[in-house]
Amino acid sequence: MSFLAELLISAMLLASSVFIVLGSLGLLRFRDFFQRLHAPTKATTIGVGCLLIASIFYHPLISGHSSPRELLITLFLFITAPI
C-alpha cells in the first residue's frame, strides 16, 4: 500500500474519531433533551461516514477488488440519518 493511501485512510479514521468524540461531548454538555439529541446525531453520522469511507479505500487496496457493500452501507446511512 502506498504512503499516500495510508495517509488518506489514517486521516479519515482520525476525522471519524474526532467527530464521534465531539458528538459524545455534545451529549454531555447540552442540558435540554432536544439539544442532547441534536449534537450526537450530526457528529456521529459524519463520524461513521468517515469510518466507512476509510473502509471503502482500505479494502480494495488490501484485497485487490472492491466490494459494493461499504458503498451501500454508506449510502443507506446518509439516506436514513436523522439530520
Higher pLDDT, 63 or 21: 21
Phi-psi region of 30 (alpha: psi -120 to 50; beta: other; left: phi over 0): beta
Boundaries of every domain in the chain: 3-80
Mean pLDDT of 71-75: 85
pLDDT band at 7 (very low <50, low <70, confident <90, very high): very high
Place of cell 502506498: 2
For residue 67, pLDDT over 80 is answered with no
Half-sphere exposure of 56 (CA within 13 A, CB side): 15
How much is the pTM? 0.79
Pick from 81, 80, 11: which is nearest to 46 by CA? 81
Query: Which pLDDT score, from 0 to 100, does residue 10 have?
Result: 94
**How far apart (Å, rounded) are the C-alpha atoms in residues 47 and 23?**
9
According to the per-residue pLDDT averaged within each range, which of 2-16, 35-49, 60-74 is highest? Answer: 2-16
